[in-house]
Amino acid sequence: MATCIFTTGAPRRIGFVSTRIEGTDGVTLEARKWAQILGGLGHSCYWMAGQLEASAGAGVVAPLASFNHPEVVEVQRQLFGVAVRSRAVTNRIQSLKEQLKDECYRFMERFDLEVLVPENILAIPMHVPLGLAVTEVIAETTLPVIAHHHDFAWERERFTLNAVNDYLQAAFPPLLHTMEHVVINSMQQRELARRLGIPSQIIPNVLDFETPPPGLDDYNRDLRRELGLRDDDWLILQPTRVVQRKGIEHAVELVRRLRDPRAKLVISHPAGDEGNAYMAMLHDRIADAGIEVRFIADRVGERRGVNAAGQKVYTLADVYPHADLVTYPSHYEGFGNAFLEAVYFGKPVVVNRYAVYARDIDPLGFKTITLTQLVTRETVEQVRAVLEDSSLRAQWARTNYALGLKHFSYAVARRKLAARLANLFGEGV
């Protein structure tokens, strides 16, 4: 019988570079997972970011690398929504770029790095000087790179009109021979090849399906009572930020049309950085619908504790076990972390068939309730049937978890990351 031998190559010193490694945004979450997986393969990981959480591990905080740095905010403001930039703006970009190159070189030298992992900074132009700086450092050092791309400029309408197309062509992303490009879905892979002639590999967002999810314990058992919910209420969880592309108005409409006093919508995250108009619209919809909605962002954090009002703070992993249904009606997602979380915690999910879901996830056979921009009578009936039938929920949970383990586990990312490193260093896998 043939034996398959999996080797991971020599241990490497790997440096992650990002604008922010902090909080619960998708880039931070996936970067943490990659570091955990690479660490498990024997590699050492280090961090450079404008905002860096204390728990990240060895690394450096470079404030100028943050897209929230005042100088960066001011420059970025003059680059998008306009077609022309002044010479003064160009000079300011170049000045910031040179300062950031110095930061990168210091980071690389301090930790004697062998591999660089730019986290989304060579894809979406949230920080143009940083993207230029990292591109030039790669070109000058020929350091091996695995560029982890989550969002591209062409996927965001706000970057369509810009005064930096020359920079976008050069660095978002660059085509350099020491780079492995990684995207998170097949649509990005196709567009990257079509637009720029850059080949890439897909490593989807993943979860640790090899480790069973946490459940109820002495700390989180009281969550329903703390939120003012009864044991027989239907906790319908919307586990996303309150931004327009999340389509939360569909969740409001679903709960309205259930017409059941047990149905309570719980929104776990705060508003995003896209203004207050969407939140105001949601409050109007909620008032018109006459439903109960709990906004619990002040009660959910990255770790357990107490908020400023002296109330218990729970993690999202504390909330999921109490959910009866998860709503995920996004209009657009690069992948869909909340979908994977619902599968991991064994919860039925209502999902809008956004493009990446329709192309990369739905064909795999997950049991879900889907909608296409509309909450139909059929959608409402399916939801009611699932909420009323615990055996059906359990059956879906088993099927979905098995599919998550097969397609989106750490094992998947482990194999694919080992292959990327092997390509860079000419090692066998």
The tens digit of pLDDT for each residue in 55-101 reads: 888 999 999 999 999 999 999 999 999 999 999 999 999 999 999 99
State the pLDDT at residue 428. Answer: 57
**Per the CATH hierarchy, to which homologous superfamily does domain 13-206+410-423 belong?**
Glycogen Phosphorylase B; (3.40.50.2000)
State the pLDDT at residue 55. Answer: 83
Tell me: cis bond preceding 173? Omega within 30 of 0 counts: yes
The tens digit of pLDDT for each residue in 276-334 reads: 899 999 999 999 999 999 999 999 998 999 999 999 999 999 999 999 999 999 998 98
Query: Which residues partner with 150 through β-bridges?
Result: none
Q: What is the 3-state secondary structure (H, E, C) of 225-292?
A: HHCCCCCCCEEEEECCCECHHHCHHHHHHHHHHHCCCCEEEEECCCECCCCCHHHHHHHHHHHHHCCE
Q: 85's torsion region: left (phi>0), alpha (psi -120 to 50) or beta?
A: beta
| Average pLDDT along the chain | 94
> What counts of helices (H) and strands (E) characterise the chain?
15, 15
Which amino acid belongs to residue 62?
Answer: A
Residue 1 has pLDDT above 70, yes or no: no
Q: Report residue 26's pLDDT band, with 50, 70 and 90 as the boundaries.
A: confident
CB of 182 closer than 8 Å to CB of 202: yes
State the pLDDT at residue 343. Answer: 98
Q: What's the rounded Cα separation, in Å, for the pair 250 and 374? A: 7
Query: Between the CA atoms of 174, 180, 181 and 184, what dihedral angle is there, to the nearest 10 degrees?
Result: -160
CB of 215 closer than 8 Å to CB of 407: no
Domains 13-206+410-423 and 223-407 in one fold: yes
DSSP helix/strand/coil, 37: helix
CA distances, 260 to each of 30, 326, 408 (Å): 38, 17, 35
State the pLDDT at residue 414. Answer: 96
Q: Determine what percent of the chain falls in helix, strand and coil, rounding each to the nearest 5.
A: 45, 15, 35
The tens digit of pLDDT for each residue in 130-152 reads: 999 999 999 999 999 999 999 99
Q: What's the rounded Cα separation, in Å, for the pair 330 and 127? A: 26
CA distances, 237 to each of 17, 248, 249, 342, 349 (Å): 33, 11, 13, 10, 9
Question: Class of 223-407 per CATH?
Answer: alpha beta
Residue 25 has pLDDT above 90, yes or no: no
pTM of the shown model = 0.91
Q: Report residue 2's pLDDT band, with 50, 70 and 90 as the boundaries.
A: very low
State the pLDDT at residue 274. Answer: 65
Domain extents in the chain:
13-206+410-423, 223-407
